[in-house]
C-alpha cells in the first residue's frame, strides 16, 4: 500500500467522535495508506464538563493497545502547551512551555497514548513568560532521551521559531524541524477576523512558504485545509472574512478543475496542498468513513501541471 501525504486529525476523538467510530476511522486510515495521526494533549477540553483534555490521546492509546504490532506502522504527532491546568480562564490558565510543564506534558501524553515515544512533538502555542532557552533545552532533552523523535512548532510567529532554532543550533541541541499552521486554497481578507481562527500567528503566509523552501529540513503541516466543510456543504458557508473578489475567482477555477477531473472540490484542495511547492501535509479531521475516503483519494490525487498552473494563476 502506497503511503499518502495526509495526517488524520484526531481532535474530536473521544468527544465529538465516539470511541467505536474513532477506531473504525483509524483502521480505515491505516488500511488506506495513512501513517500520520495528529492530536494534542488538550483535545478536546472545550467539550469536557470539567474543562479537561486528553480524550483524543486516550482513544488512540486504547486503539493501539488492541492492535499489537501496529505501533511501528504509524507516526504519532501530539502537542503540549495549551492544556488547561488549575482554575481560571483559558488561555491564561494553560500549562505553558516551562521545562517542568514540557516534561510533565510529555510523560502524561505517553501514558495516555500507551507508547514509549512520539514521532513528532509540537509546542502548541508560544509562551513568552518562559525564556526560549529553557523551552529549547527541555525539548532537546526529550529527543535525547528517545521520548521524542522530532520537534515542531504550531501557531508560533516565525521570528520566534527561527530564534529557537538558532538557540538549539548554538548549543548543539535538536531543534524545530516542522511547522503546523492553518492553510487552504482560499484565504480571508488581510486583518479580517475569522470566527474560528483561534491563534494570532496560526496562518501560513507567503513568508512561511518562502522560509520552508529555503530550509528543506523544515516540514509544513496545514490544519483546517477544507475550511470546516465550506467547499462542499451548503450548510457550512464561508465566514464574512472570505467575502472578497479573490474568493469568487478562486472558487470558479476550483469548480472547473474539479469538474474536469471528476472529483470534489475538497479533493482538489488536498491535492493542491500535498503536491505543491513546497509540499504541505494536510491535516484532515473526519467523523465518517465517507469523509475519510474522500480525503485519502484527494491526498493521493496528482494534479496535471496545466491544472495546477490554472489554480495558482488566480490571485
Domain that holds residue 175: 7-313
Residue 117 maps to a domain: yes
Please tell me whether the overall predicted TM-score, pTM, comes out greater than 0.85 for this model. yes
Distance CA 42, CA 128 (A): 19
As a whole number of angstroms, the distance between CA 38 and CA 176 comes to 17
Nearest to 201 by CA among 216, 179, 173: 179
Task: Note the pLDDT of residue 79.
Answer: 98
- 3-class DSSP assignment, residue 18: coil
Give the C-alpha distances (Å, rounded to integers) separating 1 from 6, 29, 30, 292.
14, 12, 9, 16
**Residue 305 pLDDT:** 97
Is 59 a domain residue?
yes
Specify if 1 maps to a domain. Answer: no
- What is the C-alpha to C-alpha distance for residues 107 and 126, in angstroms, rounded to an integer? 20
Could you give the 3-state DSSP secondary structure of residue 173? coil
Number of separate domains in the chain: 1
User: Residue 269 sits in a domain of what CATH number?
Assistant: 3.20.20.100
300/271 Cα distance (integer angstroms)? 7
Burial of 294 (0-12, 13-18, 19+ CB in 10 A): buried
| Structural domain includes residue 22 | yes
Whether 125 is covered by a domain: the verdict is yes
| pLDDT reported for residue 197 | 78
pLDDT of residue 195: 86
pLDDT of residue 1: 66
* In-domain check, residue 108: yes
User: In angstroms, rounded to a whole number, what is the distance separating the alpha carbons of residues 289 and 238?
Assistant: 24
Q: What is the pLDDT along the chain (315 residues), one digit of tens a residue?
A: 678 999 999 999 999 999 999 999 999 999 999 999 999 999 999 999 989 999 999 999 999 999 999 999 999 999 999 999 988 899 999 999 999 999 999 999 999 999 999 999 999 999 999 999 999 999 999 999 999 999 999 999 999 999 999 999 999 999 999 999 999 999 999 999 998 877 999 999 999 999 999 999 999 999 999 999 999 999 999 999 999 999 999 999 999 999 999 999 999 999 999 999 999 999 999 999 999 999 999 999 999 999 999 999 998
Phi, psi of 151 (to 5 degrees): -120, 140
Q: Among all residues, which ones are annotated catalytic?
A: 43
Residue 2 lies in a domain: no
Amino acid at each position: 500500500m502506497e503511503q499518502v501525504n495526509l495526517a488524520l486529525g484526531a481532535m474530536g476523538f473521544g468527544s465529538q467522535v465516539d470511541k467505536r467510530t474513532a477506531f473504525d476511522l483509524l483502521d480505515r486510515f491505516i488500511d488506506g495508506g495513512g501513517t500520520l495521526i495528529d492530536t494534542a494533549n488538550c483535545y478536546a477540553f472545550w467539550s469536557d464538563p470539567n474543562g479537561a483534555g486528553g480524550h483524543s490521546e486516550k482513544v488512540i492509546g486504547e486503539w493501539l493497545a488492541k492492535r499489537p504490532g501496529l505501533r511501528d506502522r504509524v507516526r504519532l504527532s501530539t502537542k503540549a502547551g495549551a492544556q488547561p491546568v488549575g482554575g481560571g480562564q483559558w488561555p491564561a490558565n494553560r500549562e505553558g512551555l516551562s521545562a517542568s510543564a514540557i516534561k510533565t506534558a510529555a510523560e502524561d501524553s505517553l501514558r495516555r497514548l500507551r507508547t514509549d515515544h512520539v514521532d513528532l512533538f509540537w509546542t502548541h502555542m508560544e509562551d513568552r513568560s518562559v525564556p526560549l532557552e529553557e523551552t529549547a533545552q527541555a525539548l532537546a532533552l526529550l529527543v535525547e532521551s528517545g521520548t521524542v523523535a522530532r520537534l515542531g512548532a504550531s501557531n508560533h510567529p516565525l521570528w520566534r521559531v527561527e530564534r529557537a532554532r538558532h538557540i538549539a543550533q548554538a548549543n548543539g541541541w535538536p531543534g524545530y524541524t516542522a511547522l503546523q499552521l492553518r492553510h487552504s486554497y482560499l484565504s480571508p481578507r488581510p486583518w479580517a477576523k475569522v470566527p474560528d481562527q483561534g491563534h494570532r500567528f496560526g496562518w501560513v503566509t507567503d513568508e512561511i512558504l518562502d522560509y520552508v523552501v529555503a530550509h528543506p529540513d523544515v516540514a509544513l503541516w496545514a490544519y483546517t485545509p477544507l475550511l470546516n466543510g465550506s467547499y462542499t456543504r451548503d450548510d457550512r458557508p464561508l465566514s464574512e472574512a472570505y467575502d472578497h473578489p479573490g474568493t469568487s475567482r478562486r472558487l470558479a477555477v476550483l469548480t472547473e478543475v474539479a469538474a474536469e477531473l471528476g472529483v470534489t472540490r475538497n479533493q482538489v484542495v488536498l491535492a493542491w496542498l500535498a503536491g505543491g511547492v513546497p509540499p504541505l501535509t494536510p491535516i484532515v479531521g473526519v467523523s465518517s468513513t465517507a469523509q475519510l475516503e474522500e480525503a485519502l483519494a484527494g491526498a493521493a490525487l496528482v494534479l496535471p501541471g496545466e491544472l495546477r498552473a490554472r489554480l495558482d494563476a488566480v490571485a
